[in-house]
Structure 1
Amino acid sequence: MDLVLLVCLAASPQTCREEHVAMTVERSDPRMCMASAVPTIVEWTESNPEWQVARWTCGPASRAAALDSRR
């Protein structure tokens, strides 16, 4: 399961992108993802101070992460 963030540049709020952050919670339990999201968002924000989180949700793992886990 991924934490899906919509992040926008602090200096240019109209410039936004989607970020997928892999969560270590059970793949099929979005409630667990949502419950553990806030500390992950704080950590991501501290590591990326030029970006601000506008919205977030939990969703299926990104395809790239799924491919990496099969190796």
Structure 2
Amino acid sequence: MDLVLLVCLAASPESCREERVLMGAQTSESRMCMVGAVPVLAEWAGDHPEWQISRWKCERPGQVRVTRNAD
């Protein structure tokens, strides 16, 4: 499973990009990925303070990518 993040620059929220984090074989089910995502999200956010996580989801590699909705 991949943890797919939509991240935006804190100083420029309209500048966003997608990041993918491999969750590993032990999280082959969506439910397990969701449970294991919180510490991964916290670590990623701590390692990238200039970025804010706008949204995230778990998906199998090759699924449709995250898109940002116009608000």
Taking structure 2 as the reference length, what is the TM-score of the superposition? 0.80
Q: In structure 2, what is the equivalent of residue 22 of structure 1? A: 22
What fraction of aligned residue pairs are identical, expressed as a percent?
A: 57
Structure 1 distance, partners of 2:27, 2:32, is 7
Partner SS, residue 27 of structure 2 = coil
User: Which AA in structure 2 matches 1:54?
Assistant: S
Structure with a larger share of its residues in helix:
1
Partner SS, residue 39 of structure 2 = helix
User: Which AA in structure 1 matches 2:27?
Assistant: E
Query: How many residue pairs end up in the alignment?
Result: 61
Q: Please give the root-mean-square deviation of Cα atoms over the aligned residues, in Å.
A: 1.1
Displaced runs of 4+ in structure 1, greater than 2 A? 24-27
Structure 1: which 5+ residue stretches go unaligned? 63-71
Structure 2: which 5+ residue stretches go unaligned? 63-71
Taking structure 1 as the reference length, what is the TM-score of the superposition? 0.80
Q: In structure 2, what is the equivalent of residue 44 of structure 1? A: 44
Structure 2 distance, partners of 1:40, 1:30, is 15
